[in-house]
């Protein structure tokens, strides 16, 4: 789908950015094959199916949108990629110098991929209490061993791009509005230039101005070569931003995975 058709916000001028280090657009960053997830509740003796047999690819500089009815396991797929959920079947391959199957790799490799390669932004901002906004955003760079002041400068740059008022930078985000918080969330997700960005309803319950800023940031990340896997509640956003649309079916419509 062409991004120029978006009614939400004008496309950012990609050409204005230095693009020497960006990944080659169109190169596969993540390949998910036959991914199924169900929850076994031992005490109830029940198995709750979630995602079933999901297969798709996410490419550099492109956005893959997961769509489907509530309960089809869209969020579960993101959580499996992030290794918060353990899938029952399938592979989740993060491509790189060597391919890494996130469904099977050891925990340290998964943690390394989280630190370096994969950002996961939900509609909620989880951060340490009493940390300033700049430090919240800088945290992923600090975790990678970057100098604290250099990390803070990169964080300020991202916050400026997302138009977060400077008077908020030095206070903790606890008291921020939903829109401000979400911009902090996205700034933190992008500050260390991950190769894969996962978004779970990043514009849910945002005012129009905040939503526009978030959409502009998503476009800019695409221009930067970030591969994006996203869930949107708004079909207009899917139409405006997605290069590929993957439809997940509710697991009751498919054969039992057990």
Partner 1 sequence: MVHETPVLSVAGLTRIHGRGCADCVRLTGDAAGRNVCPSCGSVVAVADISFDLWPGEILGVMGESGSGKSSVVKLLHLDDRASAGSAWFREGDGRRHDLVAVDEAEARRLRDTRFGMVFQNPHLGLNFGVSAGGNIAERLLCGGERRFQTIRETALGLLDRTEVPRARIDHQPGQFSGGMQQRLQIARALAPKPELLFLDEVTTGLDLSVQARILDLILEIQRELGVAMIVVTHDLGVVRLLAGRTIVLRHGRVVEAGLTDQILEDPQHPYTQQLVMSAL
List contacts with partner 1 (CB under 8 A).
39-43, 79, 83-86, 107-108, 110-112, 128-130, 142, 144-145
- Rounded CA-CA distance 187/140 in Å is 10
Residue 24 or 126 with smaller CB distance to partner 1: 126
CB of 140 to partner 1, least distance (A): 13
Residue 85 or 232 with smaller CB distance to partner 1: 85
CB of 115 to partner 1, least distance (A): 8
Comparing C-alpha atoms, which of 172, 166, 171, 142 is closest to residue 154? 142
Residue 78 or 240 with smaller CB distance to partner 1: 78
CB of 192 to partner 1, least distance (A): 13
- Rounded CA-CA distance 148/154 in Å is 10
- Rounded CA-CA distance 39/48 in Å is 5
CB of 52 to partner 1, least distance (A): 16
CB of 129 to partner 1, least distance (A): 6
- Rounded CA-CA distance 237/233 in Å is 8
CB of 145 to partner 1, least distance (A): 4
- Rounded CA-CA distance 40/55 in Å is 22
CB of 82 to partner 1, least distance (A): 8
- Rounded CA-CA distance 142/148 in Å is 6
- Rounded CA-CA distance 37/43 in Å is 19
Residue 92 or 240 with smaller CB distance to partner 1: 92
- Token pair of 130 as six digits: 């009493």
| Cα 233 to Cα 75, 178, 206, 229, distances in angstroms | 12, 16, 12, 14
Residue 39 or 124 with smaller CB distance to partner 1: 39
- Rounded CA-CA distance 77/220 in Å is 24
Beta bridge partners of 197: 119, 228
């Amino acid at each position: 789908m062409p991004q120029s058709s978006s009614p939400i916000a004008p496309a950012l001028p990609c050409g204005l950015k230095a693009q020497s280090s960006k990944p080659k657009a169109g190169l596969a960053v993540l390949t998910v094959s036959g991914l199924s997830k169900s929850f076994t509740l031992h005490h109830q003796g029940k198995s709750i199916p979630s995602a079933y047999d999901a297969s798709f690819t996410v490419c550099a500089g492109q956005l893959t949108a997961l769509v489907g009815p509530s309960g089809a396991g869209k969020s579960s797929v993101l959580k499996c990629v992030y290794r918060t959920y353990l899938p029952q079947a399938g592979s989740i391959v993060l491509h790189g110098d060597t391919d890494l199957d996130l469904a099977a790799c050891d925990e340290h490799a998964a943690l390394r991929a989280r630190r370096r390669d994969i950002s996961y932004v939900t509609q909620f901002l989880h951060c340490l209490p009493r940390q300033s906004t700049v430090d919240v955003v800088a945290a992923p760079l600090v975790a990678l061993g970057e100098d604290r002041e250099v990390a803070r400068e990169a964080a300020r740059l991202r916050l400026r791009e997302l138009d977060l008022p400077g008077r908020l930078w030095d206070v903790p985000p606890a008291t921020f509005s939903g829109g401000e918080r979400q911009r902090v969330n996205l700034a933190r997700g992008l500050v260390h230039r991950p190769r894969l960005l996962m978004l779970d309803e990043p514009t849910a319950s945002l005012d129009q101005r905040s939503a526009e800023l978030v959409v502009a940031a998503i476009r800019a990340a695409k221009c930067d070569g970030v591969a994006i896997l996203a869930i949107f509640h708004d079909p207009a956003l899917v139409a405006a931003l997605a290069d590929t649309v993957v439809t997940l079916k509710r697991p009751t419509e498919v054969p039992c995975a057990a």
